[in-house]
Structure 1
Amino acid sequence: MTTTTAAATIPFFPPDLFEDDRDLLLDTVREIATDPAQRFILGERTARFEELLRTDLGAGDVIACGSGTTALTLILRAMGITAGDEVIVPAFGCAPLANTVLGVGATPVFADIDPHTLVMDPDAAEALITPRTKALMPAHMFSVMADMPRLRALATRHGLRLIEDSAVAQGAVLDGRPAGTWGDAGVFSFVQVKSFGGPGEGGVVVTSDPELARTVRMLRNHGQDGTHRFRHHLVGLNSRFDEILAAFQLRRHPGLAARLARRAEIATHYTRHFTPLATRGILPPPPGTDGRCYYVYTLLAERRDDLHRHLAAHHVDGHVYYPQPLPHQPAFAHTAAPGGHWPNAERAARQCLSLPVYPHLTDAEVERITTAVLTFPT
């Protein structure tokens, strides 16, 4: 009698994400721990990492901080957004879009999204502008950048600040301009599953506004200006960047372009094969390369839960991001317009299903994932 071995499940979050960097990480920990300077936060490695990203982006300044979420908080604080103010955010996305606004005492106002790209609809945002509106805070989603040219024009026309939540979009370029540089300020996140993630938390603020940069730099470090320790000019936060992560990211940065290219290759393969499924109730992201980041590859499926179970039966681990729109979340519902309806965000929450797209998937694994989707009975 012969036996067959079940295929190993292809995980959505790979447990071996940094396996190839094990020696690098161990060397980095030892290097920082034994450095005579004994500087574990905001040291010269952090400064070099900030300068590397600033040069990459052609930005005025990059300020490293504790996370992408606190990067948004630092920007809102530095802009003076506070109680009585409104910030227009997408109705579909990650919780920090709403909780950072609430955290500074302001009110998030939820705009519906484009039904296909899943990013904030500029027309929906414009309809929500009131005298209390102080900023627009669009977010790049999954594999598509927000419509930053229209949102930049909208912010300028109404005299609003533009905060670009580009946490997931490092390396993306739209109309020749990098993600993170379209707004008055942008952010990146380095949590491990992001395109340039590391083994811990971390983020940056990107801005070409010198005064905003100066204020963010003080706010991240208890309101100190970096020249006089224990002299606090502002009521700040503890959102300081780790030297181990800075050194690790400095040494991994040369491989970023290749990792991004592999993500793009996998996403292009998926889209080419899945586009014909639109008539069968499965819609892939729009094709193309401009304004794409490939952090997460997400399908819209009319029978999302059935597709999710089908993939699991074929040993492919899918993932449902954001099963509720932000204004339906218990933490934020009290701030939403009474009787409000966000049909595209609500549909996305019902239909989104994300597939593995990390760069060290093998070609065979990509084919397995593709076949599993294509064999879903419709």
Structure 2
Amino acid sequence: MTSQATGTTTAERRITFFQPDVFDGDRATLLDIIREVGGSAGQRFILGDRTGEFERTLRRSLGAEDVVACGSGTSALVLTLTAMGVGAGDEVVAPAFGCAPLAASVVHLGATPVFADIDPWTMVADPAEAERHITARTRVLMPAHMFSVMADMPAFVALAERHGLRLLEDSAVAQGAVLKGIPAGLWGEAGIYSFVQVKSFGMPGEGGVVVTRDAEIGRRVRMLRNHGQDGRRRFLHHVIGHNSRFDEIQAAFQLHRLPGLAGRLERRAAIADYYTERFEPLADAGVVPPPRGREGRCYYVYSLLATERDALREHLAAHGVDTHVYYPRPLPRQPAFAPYVRPGDRWPHAEEASRRILALPVYAHLTDAQVEHIADTVCDFVRRRRPVGRAAHPAPARGVSP
């Protein structure tokens, strides 16, 4: 099969896990933006008019009360927890399986992360497990949307209301995901997105936003990100703040890229649909795709659960396909967070996910030929170990501009 982009066979050209040419088509625009911002009379490189426009544009598109641009998705978590009043002696319930900032953002505030186990298939926080870890010291529930699926936010909303807790969504990887008509990030009191390069709306640098329906959270985060200043008067510091300010060059670049986001997400969704259709017949042979459908789906990463994960990864590598393991250890098994583990706590589903999870390339610039090669290689691995039936399959949707 021939690659549409290069004319070479997919086996001859390595398929990288992260998109290598993500900003190639925007290079001239980015250089123009750098010249424009650098040469402007105001010489405003952070928190200027472009950042404000970017925040307003996202706020309108999401239907949020406020959107506050920050230095990173991680700092967006820290600022939001701070705005919610989390501090020493408090507990925050977070999933045992996820990215380090889930726990580190809590520890930085002197609070304690409490790790709840996950759903064994979707690998997102299990509301029943989260409830089991609620104590008199619990202040916030912080579910995280993972690589293919949003957390069960209706259940978490009900859980937070039942126990009188704050609800913060770590939606860093879920921009564009929608559940029951509500965008990821707006189910709780606040949510966050990350714009690090490899995310679905990545940019050439660090950055993120807090999205919220609560004007007071927005006001406090806006002040906290800029050394505790409220923006009306410089060098008047109302609270102890942080330096988590957004770059004007990046704001202009994200405004330029935003109109194409829906098309890029649609291409990712089409690839994910195709993978799932190809891989569903492999479940009995130990390769399990995420649930099919698009409701509440995240397309930052497409993750399988594979009984022979390491052997499958080696097989894909031998056929020119790079993969990634998110994450090789659950958070409470990381040395940095082990001191916060409570005696007797166990996370069997998180442990199993760490042994079995394997992420495949799913970025919008993949050609149909590359997508088919990846799927064929996974199916070939299974056939070599256990013959399975192979249903006819369509090609992924074509014609979506990256």
TM-score scaled by length of structure 2: 0.92
Aligned-pair identity (%): 67
Secondary structure at 1:130's aligned position in 2? coil
Is the 2:19–2:365 Cα contact (8 Å) retained in structure 1?
Answer: no
Paired with 1:224 and 1:265, the residues of 2 have a C-alpha distance of 45
Could you state the TM-score of these two structures normalised by the residue count of structure 1? 0.98
Q: How many angstroms apart in 2 are the aligned matches of 1:168 and 1:319?
A: 15
- Structure 1 match to 2:78: 73
In structure 1, the partner of 2:297 is 292
Once residues 287 and 192 of structure 1 are traced to their aligned partners in structure 2, the CA distance between those partners, rounded to angstroms, is 27
SS in 1 for 2:349: helix
Structure 2 residue aligned with 1:204: 209
2:388 — aligned with what?
none
- Map Cα deviations across residues 48-73 of structure 1 (whole Å, 9 max, x no partner): 00001000110100000000000000
How far apart, in 2, do the equivalents of 1:370 and 1:211 lie? 47
Once the two structures are superposed, the pairs formed by residues 185-204 of structure 1 within 5 Å of their partners are: 185-204=190-209
Aligned residue among 314, 320, 334 for 2:339: 334
Equivalent pairs counted in the alignment come to: 375
The offset of 1:213, in angstroms, is 1.1
Whether 1:255 and 2:229 are equivalent positions in the alignment is no
2: CA distance, partners of 1:353 / 1:99: 24
Matched, 1:146 2:151: yes
Q: 1:55 aligns with which of 56, 60, 65?
A: 60
Which amino acid is the alignment partner of residue 353 of structure 2? A
- Tell which deviates more after alignment, 356-365 or 339-348: 339-348
4+ residue runs over 2 A deviation: none
Distance in 2 separating the partners of 1:118 and 1:305:
19
**CA-to-aligned-CA distance 1:310-346 (integer Å, 9 cap, x gap):** 0001100011111000000000011012242100000
Q: The residue matched to 1:375 in structure 2 has which SS?
A: helix
Instruction: Select which of 32, 41, 47 maps to 2:37.
Output: 32
Match runs of 1:276-355 below 5 Å: 276-355=281-360
DSSP-derived class of the 2:277 partner:
helix
Structure 2 residue aligned with 1:224: 229
CA distance in 2, matches of 1:100, 1:206: 17
Distance 1:143 1:55 in 2: 26
Alignment partner of 1:64 is 2:56: no
Tell me the alpha carbon deviations over residues 16-52 of structure 1, each in whole angstroms, 9 at most, x when there is no partner.
Answer: 1111111111111111111111100000000000001
Which of 181-190 and 334-343 deviates more?
334-343
Partner Cα distance (2:157, 2:224) in 1: 26
CA distance in 1: counterparts of 2:139 and 2:36, whole angstroms: 45
Structure 2 Cα separation of the partners of residues 205 and 73 of structure 1: 10
Deviates more, 1:16-25 or 1:65-74: 16-25
Which SS does the other structure have where 1:116 is aligned?
coil
Please state how far the C-alpha of 1:308 moved relative to its aligned partner. Answer: 0.3
Cα displacement string for residues 192-240 of structure 1 (whole angstroms, at most 9, x for unaligned residues): 1111110000000011212111111110000000000000000000000
Distance (Å, rounded) in 2 between the aligned partners of 1:271 and 1:368:
14
RMSD of Structure 2 on Structure 1 (CA)? 1.0
